[in-house]
Structure 1
C-alpha cells in the first residue's frame, strides 16, 4: 500500500500490513510498544467516597492523568512501534444522554426512556454490511450529534460541514 493510506484498513490474514513485510519479515532489532490500561473515567471519585456503584460523575483526575500519559508517550525517543489501550475506559457517566459502544462489529442502536444506545461498527473485522470506520461525535450544550464515517471517507473528505458548523457555534 502507498504511504499514508489507512493503517486500519491494512489488517488482513492475521497480519497488519502497516508493518512493511520487506522491512519487518525477519527479525532485525529489538523494538517496543506501549500498553496502557483502565483510564476508567469516574472511578477515582467513586473509590474515594467508598461507593463504586455511584460517584462516577467527576472525571477531572482521570482526564489529567490520561493527558499526562499521551504527553509522555509523545515525548519518547525513539518512538514506540505502536500503542494499545486495554481494559475499562469509563466507570461513570455524568448526565447520560447516550451510551457509545462497540463489540457488535456493525452499526446498531436505539432509544430507551430518553437514553440513546449507539453501537459503532468495527475498525477491523466487519460482521455486517458497514465499512471499516469511526464514529465522529459532536457534543454541544444542547445536544449530542454523531455520524459514522468509513475510514476512506474520513481520510479523504474529513468531517462533514454540518458537523463542523456545530463546533463553530460553540466557540
Structure 2
C-alpha cells in the first residue's frame, strides 16, 4: 500500500491509529505539534481591492502560501507529532449558494435570498438532541444535496442510495 494512501487509513473506528493508546498513555518526553490557522481562500483579493464581498474567485495567493506551509512542515526535522488546521478555511467563493459551518454543536440552518446556511452538529460534545455525526455533501453541476448522518448510522449503513446515485451522474 502506498504511504500516502496508508496515511488516510489511519483514522478508523473513531480512532486515529497513529496514536496508539498503549504507546501514548505514558509521558515519553517533549514533543511538538504545529497549528495553522485561517488559510481563508479568497480573503487576500478582497483585502487588496478593499471590498470584503468580492475576491472569492481568486485563490492563487492563498493556495501558494498553503502549499509553502506544507512544504516547510515536511522539511522539518524532527517531524511534528501532528498538524492541526483551525479557523476560517474559505472566505468567499464564486457562485456560492451554500455555506457550511459548525461551532454550534447542533444542526441548524437558515436561508437568505438564494444562500443556504447549513450548520452541522458536532462529532464531539452535543448541546442539543442531535447525535454525534457528520454531514455528507454531494455537489453536482446543478445542485448541492446534503444529509447529516449519525456516526452509528454512517458506520452501519454507509451513504443513502440517493446520494450514491447523484455521484454517478455525468
- The yes-or-no answer on 1:133 pairing with 2:133 is yes
How many residues are matched? 157
* Partners of 2:56 and 2:91 within 8 A in 1: no
Tell me the TM-score normalised to structure 2 length. Answer: 0.74
What does 1:99-118 correspond to in 2, within 5 Å?
A: 99-118=99-118
Match of 2:53 in 1: 54
Judged with a 3 Å threshold, the aligned counterparts in structure 2 of structure 1 residues 91 and 163 are, in CA distance, closer, same or farther, namely same
Gaps of 5+ in 2: 1-10
Judged with a 3 Å threshold, the aligned counterparts in structure 2 of structure 1 residues 79 and 145 are, in CA distance, closer, same or farther, namely farther
Tell me the TM-score normalised to structure 1 length. Answer: 0.73
* Partners of 1:41 and 1:56 within 8 A in 2: no
- Stretch deviating more after TM superposition (83-92 or 130-139): 83-92
Match of 1:6 in 2: 14
User: How far, CA to CA, are the matches of 2:134 and 2:72 in structure 1?
Assistant: 25
Judged with a 3 Å threshold, the aligned counterparts in structure 2 of structure 1 residues 73 and 99 are, in CA distance, closer, same or farther, namely same
Judged with a 3 Å threshold, the aligned counterparts in structure 2 of structure 1 residues 140 and 59 are, in CA distance, closer, same or farther, namely farther
User: How far, CA to CA, are the matches of 1:69 and 1:159 in structure 2?
Assistant: 34
Judged with a 3 Å threshold, the aligned counterparts in structure 2 of structure 1 residues 123 and 28 are, in CA distance, closer, same or farther, namely same
CA RMSD of aligned residues (A): 2.9
